[in-house]
Structure 1
Amino acid sequence: MDQTICVGAIAGAFGVQGEARLKSFTADPRAIEDYAPLTTEDGRSFGLNITREIANGFAVRLTGVATKEEADALKGVRLYAPRDRLPSLPDDEFYHTDLIGLSVFDTGGVELGKVKAVLNHGATDLLELHATGKSGTVLLPFTRACVPTVDLTAGRIVADPPEGLLD
């Protein structure tokens, strides 16, 4: 799955005619249709056709899914597109998957931890760090002020965390 990016997830059935609910993770939510066929972690492949917009996503038809039960069985399945089918990003934007696992250092070069996940709960992205020497995780705002440098080539992030965040 290294050369794929998670672009959406199936949220179960929509209605009784075999349509599924789809949550799109793409910048333009409708663009997910352009990246099909999409694959799952276990290697299945689905073409998709958006039939209408619904609350929190889209109703879609997936190839090979004809019944409500088949659509419901896919609930929680993540859909992936090959990286080369996705648009190139500007220098200051990143795919979440590229950030996960990067080492994070403070501006003095001290390792703070590794990125465990990238979260977004509305206001801004947060980097969930597995902090060095701590048992738990820390949430670092993924803003230019807190994260002035992301160097994908070197596999590192330079961060200037808010005072007291790592105490």
Structure 2
Amino acid sequence: MSERDSSSSDRAKAASHAKASGQASFGAFVRKPAERTDGKAKEVQTDVANAGSDVAEMRIETAASWPADAVEVGAIVDAYGLKGWVKVAAHADAGRGGDALLSAKRWWLLKGQERKSAASLQAKTHSDSVVARLGGVADRDAALALRGTRVYISRSEFPTLEADEFYWIDLIGLDVVNLAGVRLGKVASMIDNGAQSVLRIEYPVIDKNGKPVAGERLIPFVGVFVKTVDQAAKQIVVDWEADF
């Protein structure tokens, strides 16, 4: 298996883990009305030089000290090199939302029931993964001990997007209505079909046995269908008929 194949497999496993956890994961950002056309994403690297002891140590955290806006963005899948760097399978590539891993100053780490946090001293893209040097992780053995750890970033540390760009995490839960004012449901999740992002909308229906169940609509997140996204009003307006 090539390094690229291995990285893709790691990323798929991390995304599957996030889905199984029942928590909304980061996902890519989506751009309306079309994706970026400026080619390959530019590599971003952070570097905290001459870190003090308060930065260089890993902290034990509790549910109370955990950020309320923490969003799962990937998982540590391996050590990288001999000097304590870790390899992360990110839920989104750099340039499609994964830049949060590169720019965040602190990573919040969850393995089983154990919560920790560490300063991100350096982080950069490497092939299809992100590799990083974390405070308190001094050698390969310490890095290997972090395998299987889920990585969270505070939403407040996500890079700012352009006016027509939105993080998936910010779209989930918004009400969707059409131009006639008919409520179509709520955004339950986002799907990337390779060509574009898709809103997966759930709405209440009654099945043939008279029981309430969730119906589903899939609406491509492109300008021809998505007219406005008002995060303050928690609403998306679409050009989409209720019987589609």
Asked if TM exceeds 0.5, the reply is: yes
Q: Using the TM superposition, give the Cα deviation of residue 50 of structure 1 relative to its aligned residue in structure 2, in angstroms.
A: 3.0
Q: What is residue 86 of structure 2 aligned with on the other side?
A: 20
- 1:1-167 matched pairs, under 5 angstroms: 1-6=67-72, 8-14=73-79, 17=82, 18-22=84-88, 23=90, 25=92, 26-27=94-95, 29=98, 32-40=101-109, 44-48=116-120, 49-50=122-123, 53-54=126-127, 56-65=128-137, 66=139, 67=141, 69-74=144-149, 77-83=150-156, 85-133=157-205, 135-161=214-240, 167=244
Percent identical pairs in the alignment equals: 26
The amino acid that maps onto 2:116 is R
Q: How many residues align?
A: 160
Q: Using the TM superposition, give the Cα deviation of residue 115 of structure 1 relative to its aligned residue in structure 2, in angstroms.
A: 0.5
Alpha-carbon distance in 2 for matches of 1:37, 1:80: 7
The amino acid that maps onto 2:232 is T
Q: Using the TM superposition, give the Cα deviation of residue 5 of structure 1 relative to its aligned residue in structure 2, in angstroms.
A: 4.8
Alpha-carbon distance in 2 for matches of 1:125, 1:97: 13
Q: Using the TM superposition, give the Cα deviation of residue 166 of structure 1 relative to its aligned residue in structure 2, in angstroms.
A: 5.2
Q: Using the TM superposition, give the Cα deviation of residue 137 of structure 1 relative to its aligned residue in structure 2, in angstroms.
A: 2.8
Distance 1:82 1:114, change over 3 A: closer
Alpha-carbon distance in 2 for matches of 1:69, 1:122: 33
Gaps of 5+ in 2: 1-66, 206-212
Moved over 6 A (4+): none
Q: What is residue 31 of structure 2 aligned with on the other side?
A: none
User: For residues 110-136 of structure 1, what are the alpha-carbon distances to aligned partners after superposition, in whole Å with 9 as ceiling and x for unaligned?
Assistant: 111100112224211111111342634
Distance 1:78 1:137, change over 3 A: farther
Of structures 1 and 2, the larger Rg is shown by 2
Alpha-carbon distance in 2 for matches of 1:124, 1:97: 16
TM, length-normalised to structure 2: 0.54
Alpha-carbon distance in 2 for matches of 1:63, 1:166: 54
Q: Using the TM superposition, give the Cα deviation of residue 9 of structure 1 relative to its aligned residue in structure 2, in angstroms.
A: 0.7
CA contact (8 A) 2:187 2:201 kept: yes
The amino acid that maps onto 1:34 is S
Report which stretch shifted further, 100-109 or 132-141.
132-141
TM, length-normalised to structure 1: 0.75
CA contact (8 A) 2:172 2:189 kept: yes
Alpha-carbon distance in 2 for matches of 1:32, 1:16: 19
Distance 1:14 1:137, change over 3 A: farther
The structure carrying a bigger helix percent of its residues is 2
Distance 1:82 1:44, change over 3 A: farther
Structure 1 counterpart SS, 2:169: helix
Alpha-carbon distance in 2 for matches of 1:139, 1:14: 39
The amino acid that maps onto 2:78 is A
CA RMSD, Structure 1 to Structure 2 (Å): 3.0
